[in-house]
Amino acid sequence: MQSFLLAVDRFSTWIGKTCAWSVLALTLLICWEVFSRYVLNRPHAWVLDAQIMLYGLLFMMAGAYTLSKNGHVRGDVLYGFLAPRTQAIVDLTLYIIFFLPGVIALTWAGWTYANESLAIREQTFNADPIPLYPFKFVIPVSGFVLLLQGIVEIIRCIQCIQTGAWPAREGDVEEVDVKKLKEMVHVKDEDMAALERDLALKGNNK
């Protein structure tokens, strides 16, 4: 079971990191349009729509990746003080009541929405239209991947309730941990306090 959970984690990570390249495409597109508009005096009506699509791709496809890293924002004022088994019970309840109905509805409605757009070969509404229907398929695809990752998280909740400890998950880039950073460079709290005192003295002497 653990190999299955980690395999889904890796899949969600691959999806997220692949779609993250849309940031580069979005940056290059904006830079090119600014140059074309203000230097060459040749604006393009379709660029704004393309920018919105690229940002939408990044936002939608990052959901499963963020969930796989347990990175979604939570109101953990009290949650962080709970025992792992209690945390799992809370998470499992919220997954069943809110997550599953919402994501299933998103995937189902998104599939219908995208197919209706495909049927009429929907385009953007501007002077230089571009196809819109390929982008709308991002909605059901992102919903499906998020649902798959959500099922994995539900299984983790059940395992934690049974064992009292959270199962391992795939690691990834983390935010800077100041404590670990000080350990790496062999800096002690006393050294930092002495440095702050020296700086304060120098400031007072000035």
Q: What is the mean pLDDT of residues 66-84?
A: 81
Q: What is the mean pLDDT of residues 89-99?
A: 94
In angstroms, how far is CA 160 from the centroid of its own chain?
Answer: 24
Check pLDDT > 70 for residue 31: yes
Give the C-alpha separation, 125 to 41, whole Å: 22
Cβ atoms within 10 A of the Cβ of 134, count?
A: 13
Flag whether the pTM goes above 0.85: no
- Domain spans, the chain: 2-174, 177-206
What's the pLDDT tens digit per position in 163-199? 989 888 776 555 555 566 556 666 666 766 676 677 6
Q: What is the mean pLDDT of residues 74-78?
A: 73
Instruction: Please say whether the beta carbons of 64 and 152 come within 8 A.
Output: no
Instruction: Please say whether the beta carbons of 118 and 81 come within 8 A.
Output: no
Give the closest residue to 153 by CA, choosing from 78, 91, 63.
Answer: 91
- With a pLDDT cut of 90, the percent of the chain lying above it is 60
User: What pLDDT sits at residue 175?
Assistant: 54
